[in-house]
Structure 1
Amino acid sequence: MRKLLEHPKPGPENSMYYWRRYVGFFKVARNFIVISLGRYIPFLGLKRWLYRYGLGMRIGENVSLGLMMMPDVLFPELIEIGDNSVIGYNATILTHEFRVDTFKTGAVKIGRNVLIGANVTILAGIEIGDGAMIGAGAVVTKDIPPKVLAAGAPARVVKKLE
């Protein structure tokens, strides 16, 4: 089950209309610049440093963030990635979602020794257990237990890993 915090919308328009009431303009502008730089940097150590100190993400040791990896632009500080994990090319990690009538946020926790394939989308409020593998193109809509292979849209456990 996804762990999401619901924020009421302050007026009659859809929740995205009020994005500046949920997060400051200058924070989003800074995050956008840092993420835009980080998406193209091929140097893993520099990218980890940039995302740790420029965005406030909690990133473990020896984490590899693939080219074009896209962390959430509004609340990247809600992302935690465990030691020795690999986040693949063009993977997207979201920590917020706008709905018509509400706005929700949720931390994303990725365990140690996790492999996230290329073009994976991880929704807000998800936890991925240690040693899990997520197949390319998957959409992770619910928690993934440790040491399993999950794939598909939505992602489903395919098999247990040894």
Structure 2
Amino acid sequence: MSDDTESGTGGAPTSGGGDGRSGPAGRGRRHERLNRHATPGPLNSLQHWREAKSIPQVVYNYLFVLVARLAPALPVKAWALRRLGVTVGDGVSWGLEATPDVFWPELVTLEDHVIVGYDATLLCHEFLQSEYRTGEVVLRERAMVGAGAVVLPGVEVGAGAQVAANSLVAEDVPAGETWAGVPAKPVDGEG
């Protein structure tokens, strides 16, 4: 799989293809699930963010991200996440200072009984030099993301899977597995 930018104009998305499966056959396929948006010209892609999202929308998102990060009660956090467009299942626990993507929070799915730990970050975008990429982040039922972990766009954390604290998740985590590290990899035994 090449990381080369597909040609396009005006930030129009192009997809990397792939079938989007998780698990052993689909492991490491996050790049194939990302939408690529070209940003031609001398400026890096972050300089083009206003072409993708309006300033009022990002301000709105940021305010509700703050509520989700700082509210002391889980029902208030779930309410704020839903206002952002995050799909939130029953019994989701969102830790203090945990952060959903501020530009594309609607690409986050948290299935039932997911736990997202303190100061974890779920990113649905990456700004690069000549393009930006967007992709869904899906945490399946009873998945757990530890404190300070970062989940990159296009990643799926399988049902009952665990991501250790301070890990960088750049690949799908299969159901029931425990991953840790930078970048996160499978670990033996209980984490």
| TM-score, with length taken from structure 1 | 0.96
8 Å CA contact 1:147–1:160 kept in 2: the answer is no
1:20 aligned residue = 50
Q: Per-residue displacement from partner, 1:30-73 (whole Å, max 9, x unpaired)? A: 00111112211010011101111x20100100000000000000
Contact 1:81-1:110 within 8 A present in 2 as well = yes
Contact 2:40 2:130 in 1 (8 A): no
Instruction: Spell out the pairing of 1:47-126 with structure 2 (5 A cutoff).
Output: 47-52=77-82, 54-126=83-155
Query: Which 4+ stretches in 1 moved above 3 angstroms?
Result: none
Q: Is 1:147 paired with 2:185?
A: no
Find 1:38's aligned residue among 68, 75, 82: 68
More strand by share: 1
Equivalences, count? 160
Larger Rg: 2
CA contact (8 A) 1:10 1:18 kept: no
Amino acid at match of 1:64: S
Distance 1:103 1:43 in 2: 34
Question: In 2, Cα distance between the equivalents of 1:38 and 1:138?
Answer: 21
TM-score for the superposition, normalised by structure 2: 0.81
142-151 vs 30-39, which deviates more? 30-39
Identity %, equivalent residues: 38
- Contact residue 95 and residue 119 of structure 2 kept, 8 A: yes
Structure 1 residue ranges without an equivalent (≥5): none
- By how many angstroms is 1:11 displaced? 2.7
Amino acid at match of 1:28: V
Deviations 1:58-95 (A, max 9, x none): 01000000000000000000000110111000000000
| One-letter code aligned to 1:59 | V
